[in-house]
Amino acid sequence: MLGSVATFGGGAIAQTDPLPSWNEGPVKKSITEFVARVTTQGGSDFVPVSERIATFDNDGTLWCEQPVYFQVAFAIDRVKAMAPQHPEWKTTQPFKAILDKDMKALAASGEKGLLPIIAATHAGMTVEDFTKSVLEWTATARHPRFNRPYIELVYQPMLELLSYLRANGFKTFIVSGGGIEFMRPWVEKVYGIPPEQVVGSSGEVKFQFGADGKPELMKLPKIEFVDDGPGKPVGINRFIGRRPIFAFGNSDGDLQMLQWTAAGEGARFAGLVHHTDATREYAYDRESKVGKLDKALDEAAAKGWPVVDMKQDWKTIFPDGTK
C-alpha cells in the first residue's frame, strides 16, 4: 500500500518512510509495529479492515489549541463581525469585553460568559449559514503568533499518521470536545476526513420551514451533547457504534476515550501528544487552562501508552516546514 522508491544504480527497492516527519524513536516504532501487527494476515493480532477504527481528538492533537481553543477565537471574531448589527453589545457583558479587547474582563466572565457568546455566534441561523461563517473565518482569520490561517496550524506528523493509517485500511475519525459543525466544513480538505466521520459537541437543531417556504435546519441556543471526558466514549458509541482499536489524544478530556479503546480485546493503541516545544509551538501540561494534561499523563505512564514528546519526536510541527 505504501509508496516505494527504486534506488538507481543498485536495483534494490527501499520502501519510503510513511512517517517522514517523525524522528526515529519509541513512539514512531510503537505506531509502525502496531500497524504491522493488526494488518498481518494470519497473525494472532490481525484485525479485519471493517474493524480498523481510529479516533483522534482534534484540539491539541491534530491542530494547535493555544493561546485559546481556535473555536473560541472564531467566536470572538464573530462577535466583532456581528457587532454593527448589535449596538446593545457595546454596553452588555461579555460582549463589551470582547469589543473593548478587555481580555481580563472576558476571562472573569468565565464559562458562564461563554454561553451567551456561543448562543450569539453559533445559533439563530441555519446550519448552512453557520457553515458559511466558519468557512469565511478559516479563509481570513490569522493566528496571533504564527500569523497564518488557523487551518494551516495542523500538525504535519499527524497528517502523515492519518494517511498512513488510511493506507493500511483504517477508517479515521475525529472525536473532539469542539463543536461538530465548526469542524465539518473544513476537515475533509485539511485532514482527508469526511464530515460524516466527525464526532463532536453539538447544539440543538430544529427542522422548520423558512420564510421562503423551504425546509431548513435552524440552530438553537441550547447545548445538546458535550463530547468531552466520559462523553467521548459515549459519543463514539453513538456515532460510530464500534470500539476503536487506535486512539490519540492530548489532554485529560481524552482520558476516557483512551481507557475505552485500550480496554478492548486484542491489540490496541492509545497514545498522547505531550506539548513540550515552546520554541516551535507551545509547552504545557498539568497546569494549563487549555488542554490540561495531568491524570492522562499519569495513566499513560502507568499503562505504558506511547507519549509523543513533541520536541523530541517531531521533525516538523506544521506543514510546509515553516516552523
Distance, CA of 196 to CA of 198 (rounded, Å): 6
* Closest to a second copy by CB, 112 or 214: 214
Min CB(128)–a second copy separation in Å: 9
* Closest to a second copy by CB, 101 or 295: 295
Min CB(293)–a second copy separation in Å: 19
Positions that interact with a second copy (CB under 8 A): 50, 53, 127, 171, 180-181, 184, 188, 194-198, 202, 205-207, 214-215, 217, 230-231, 233-234, 237-242, 256, 259-260, 263
* Closest to a second copy by CB, 217 or 301: 217
* Closest to a second copy by CB, 21 or 261: 261
CA distances to 93, 204, 211 from 116, in Å: 9, 15, 26
Min CB(272)–a second copy separation in Å: 17
* Closest to a second copy by CB, 94 or 178: 178
Distance, CA of 302 to CA of 300 (rounded, Å): 5
Min CB(311)–a second copy separation in Å: 31
Q: Residue 231 is placed in which grid cell?
A: 462523553
60: left (phi over 0), alpha (psi -120 to 50) or beta: left
Tell me whether residue 321 is exposed, middle or buried, using C-beta atoms within 10 angstroms of its C-beta: 0 to 12, 13 to 18, 19 or more. Answer: exposed
Helix (H, G, I), strand (E, B) or coil at 47: coil
* Closest to a second copy by CB, 132 or 206: 206
* Strand blocks (E) in 77-117: none
CA 142 to chain CA centroid, Å, is 18
Helix (H, G, I), strand (E, B) or coil at 54: strand
Min CB(200)–a second copy separation in Å: 10
* Closest to a second copy by CB, 252 or 313: 252
Min CB(78)–a second copy separation in Å: 20
> Pseudo-torsion of CA 96, 98, 104, 105, nearest 10°?
30
* Closest to a second copy by CB, 181 or 313: 181
> Pseudo-torsion of CA 175, 94, 107, 126, nearest 10°?
10
Min CB(148)–a second copy separation in Å: 26
Biggest alpha carbon distance in the chain?
Answer: 74
**Residue 221, CA atoms < 13 Å, CB-side half-sphere:** 9
Helix (H, G, I), strand (E, B) or coil at 323: coil
Min CB(34)–a second copy separation in Å: 20
Q: Report whether 52 contacts 38 (CB < 8 A).
A: yes
